[in-house]
Every structure is written in structure tokens, then in C-alpha cells.
Amino acid sequence: MAKSYDLLIIGAGPGGYTAAIRAAKEGLKTGVIEKEKLGGTCLNRGCISTKALLHASSMFSMMQKCDEFGVSADSIAFDFKKMQQYKKNAVRDYRNEIHGTFEKLGIDLIYGTATIRRGKTVEVKSDKGKDFYQAKHIIIATGAVPRPLSIPGADLDGVWYSDRILKEDKWKFDRLTIIGGGVIGVEMATIFNALCAKVYLVERAPHLLGPMDQEVSEALKEELTRRGIRVYCGANIHKITKEEGLICHISKDGEEILLRSGCVLVAVGRQPYTDGLFGEDVNFQMKDGKLEVDSEFMTSEPEVYAVGDVTADIQLAHVAAAQATYVVEKIAKKVHTIRLSVVPNGMYAKLPVVPNCIYTEPEIATVGLTEEAALACGMKVRCGKYSMGENGRSIISREEGGFIRLIFEAYSNNLVGAQIVCPRATDMISEMATAVAAGLNAGQLMMAMRAHPTYSEGIAGAIEDAMRS
């Protein structure tokens, strides 16, 4: 007889484990099905893993410049194997924390590959055989996998995806070509450049980071170039060949360019993962390769929901977690505690309140609308910009590049967007996200004092600049 649950969750990444924890706290009998490791891609092969390596490589890079701060060292070197072990330890500790919470709340963790059958029944195959489970509600949180590169030579030895490169503990990266200038590409470029690799970054679009504000993208390109990374935007890659290493054949502005390296990292995006998920007796609607859901995240099958990368246009861990919270609150008939978007009073433009964070040097963080997006909606805006070269904390740390740019609706002076390029930007953006979600205006944002010297003082400078326009 199938074991029954109030809620079954397929996938134990940020969307899955967030939903499980919230559901258990609401008194729902909850089970989570995971075919690999608790934590999903984000913890084991994505966000946490990458940020751990970014932290380690940043420390090495900083130590190379320590003499500027009056600190001396006889020799500075890095051990890539130990860096990878540090990353593994961070992942293990984080996973153990989640596992402990599951045990404390009585959440069942079921290992195996799930297939959804009719009547909200889930078949789970594992080494032990086949089991069946039933639930009143199901949440699909199976995430995404790297999108393959379809060109000649993409299957050559040495052409890797991020999952593989995060496992490698031997240094093979004196020269590295990265195909794709999205978040994964630019963060990986930052890591290996900090470790003194010669890095080539190839992006097909006209600028890095896809739909992000062009001024932000250009600032990032300038900084990466200043650090020695060769950036090729508006470039097409035609094939990869092997000849004393790997050669990427690209073209840019009509010119053929050969990039020679020991390893090629493919980072051209991720696609929803649904392999084996649907049985023949269920009918799930798909759109553009993603699971189609309504405004409440319900799929075409009643009481079966989907959250995170398997359905979202924005593939971020905190988006998956927020959507999961929203769905569980709906199932538990609780008042929603999170806002996924907001329509300000008297305005017709729907504002996204999703912070986008890129952990380069300097960090990049954005929320809400860019100026271009606001104008495209017919919104009149005031824009304010503050250069971090004027900021006391930036001068102290010798990190004087970057800026803070704020977008206000012209009549109400409500904040509708922010772009921050500077150290700690990924922490500072939370204040801006709160302001956008709450509909705060420039006057309200200026009421709070900001400590001196801090990077966040620049927010006041950007507000003042906007109000002078």
C-alpha cells in the first residue's frame, strides 16, 4: 500500500528543501524525493560551491597585493586541491545543517528517481527497488541542467561544463576558454583569473550578462579586461579542434580568431530537468521547454505545483525558495509573507522584486526596473548615480571602481529600480529590494542614517543626485 503524505516534493534543492521546511512547520506531513544529494545543484554543484571557490581565489588575489597595505609575505602560492577540499567542507557543513532541520521537523527524505502517475501517485525507483507514494499535493522542484553546446568538437576531452570543473582538484587551467558570458561564465572567469590563469571569455550577445542593464554590463567588461581577461562579445563559436591543446574557432566583426587553451568551459545556460518525471497516464503542459504553470504555480494537473528552474524564466535559488514559500502558504491557507512582484499605487508597470546578484570583483547586484525597461513601460523616471571613487570605504580598501544607480518614478519619487556595482553589492541590494517591494520614495529612503565609512553611504549620494534632476 502506498504511503500517504499531505505534501510530496520532488527535488531537494533550494525550492524543495525550503518548501519542505515551511510545510513541516505548518503541520503538514511532508516527504521529499531526491535522486542524488540533499541540497540540489545550488548547494552541491552551483551557488555554494562556486561562492566558496570565489572566496578562496579572492583571498589568494588579495594576498598578492598585500604589500600595498604594509603586509609582507616571503612567498604566496595556492593549492588547488586544498581549495577544492575547502569548498567540499563548506558544502558538507551546509548540507548537514539542512539534514538536521529535516530530522528535527520529521521530514521524510526519500532517495530515488521519481515518476508522477495519475491520482497524485509518485513512483520512486532506487537500488532497493520500486515504491509508491501518494499525496494531497505535489511540488515539482527538479531544477535544471547545463544546456549542451551543439558544435563540432563539443564532445572532445577537455570540454567541460560547470559540474565537472567544480569537481576537478588537479590544476589544469593555465589557459582557459569560457563559452558564455552569463552569470556562470563571468564568475568562473573571475575565479580562474584570480588564480593567474589566462582566461578568454566568449559571448554571442553584444554584451555580458544577457538582459542586465547595459551600463552595468559595460562596467563589468571594463573591469574584467583591466584584470587581464580577454572578453569577446558579439562573437560566434564555430567549432573546437584538438592540436596541442584545444582550439576554439570564433568569429567577431568578420574576423576569424583562434583561441588556444588547455580546457574549455561551456556555460551557455541551463535547461529545465524533467527526464523520466512524467508517467504516460498524466498530461503536463510545457511551454518553451519549461513546465507551464498558472499565477499560483499550479501545473495543468490539479494540486501539482512547480517552482524554481524547472518553470522559471529567472533561474535563481532565492526565486525558487520564494516561489516554494508562496505555494506552501497557499496549500496551508496562510497569508502570504512574500511578494514576488508589486504594482505601485497609481502606476501600471509591474515591478519585479527579485534581486540579481553576480559575485564578480566588484560584485554586481540589481533589483526592479532598469531605466530602459521603465521607459519602455511608458514610465517617466528620475535617475541618480553615485561614483564609488568618492566613497571613503572604497578609498580605504583600494576598490574605487563601480557605482550605485537608482531609478525613481518621476511623480511619486518611488524607487522602482537599483543597480549596484561595488564591494558588498550583494548584501546592499536587500535594502533596495525592500524599498521597491514596500513602495518607498526618495524622502523615506533618506530618513535613515547610513554609517560612515561604509559602501552603503553611496545610496544617499545616488538619491540626492536623482532629486537634483
Distance (Å, whole) CA 197 – CA 193 = 5
Backbone angles phi, psi at 403, to 5 degrees: -160, 170
| Long-range contacts from 448-455, C-beta under 8 angstroms, 24+ separation | 452/392, 453/391, 453/392, 453/393, 453/396, 454/393, 455/388, 455/391, 455/393, 455/394, 455/422, 455/423, 455/424, 455/425, 455/428
Query: Which active-site residues does the annotation give?
Result: 452
Question: In whole angstroms, what is the distance from residue 467 CA to residue 323 CA?
Answer: 35
CB atoms within 10 A of CB 27: 9
How is the chain split among helix, strand and coil, in percent rounded to 5?
35, 30, 35
Q: Is the peptide bond before 362 cis (omega within 30 degrees of 0)?
A: yes
Query: Is the backbone peptide bond immediately before 148 cis, with ω within 30 degrees of 0?
Result: no
Contacts (Cβ under 8 Å, ≥6 apart) of 268: 147, 149, 179, 180, 182
